[in-house]
Amino acid sequence: MSASRPAADGAPPRRADQRLPSGRHGLSRADVASSQRARIVLALFDAVAEKGYPATTIGDVVDRAEVSRRTFYEHFTSKEACFLAAFDEAVADVGVQLAAVLDPLPKDDWRTRIRQSWRAFLTALAASPTITWSLYVETFSAGPALIERTSAVNAGFAEVFRKLHRLARKQEPAVTELAPEVFDLYIGGTAERIRHCLRTDGAAALPALEDLFVDTLLALFGTPSA
């Protein structure tokens, strides 16, 4: 049985992007604008995950964000512009989480870096179901600009594993030589498996893909599982 779209309450906690209190709050214009923008972005993810990108309207977004249409257009020129910005911010957030995990690791420990990359990435996706659904499922119906963004992110992730492969080859000559395109295929395959998991078992099950993703890459390298 296919899992339903993630519920809006599956989104991450609102933290500082919660609605501002009415009346005098002592916040600067910049603080107010930042809060409004963050609420709009999260509202877009919630609406897109619930209704699908094509059916989502700016009215859906402003209702969820509790801002006016005028406020929306002060931040974004269109629904697509909002989704592009939301996509970039979500990718950047995941990048920060990955860096926090990987930066302390020894640069030459390629096995650990492979496993920890996937562990951190899948954990981040599982923690934000509506964002993950929007990024992995809805981008394909959001137009060529979003598809191009997705391709660029996938290419960047493939390059991470190309570099780890080059490092592995230096340390262990028995590691299989691979064409660069193999890593594009690998990332494409993992992305499709993530989408399958979202549609069937839901975002909470994503961390269980860690062993599959790691073991598949090590098999490509021609090395035993870590």
pLDDT in the model for residue 7 = 59
pLDDT in the model for residue 70 = 95
Maximum pairwise Cα distance, the chain:
68
Helices 110-127 and 79-102, axial angle in degrees (round to 10): 140
Cα-Cα-Cα-Cα dihedral sign, residues 152, 153, 158, 163? positive
Close Cβ partners of 79 (under 8 Å, ≥ 6 residues apart):
44, 56, 57, 58, 61
Going by the DSSP 8-state scheme, the letter that residue 21 receives in this structure is: P
For the chain, what are the domain ranges?
8-75, 80-221
- What are the 10-residue block averages of pLDDT along the chain, 226 residues in total? 52 39 62 88 93 94 94 95 93 92 91 95 95 92 90 94 94 91 96 96 96 96 76
Class in CATH terms, 80-221: mainly alpha
Going by the DSSP 8-state scheme, the letter that residue 76 receives in this structure is: -
Q: If you count DSSP H runs as helices and E runs as strands, how many of each does the chain have, helices first?
A: 9, 0
Phi, psi of 10 (to 5 degrees): -85, -5
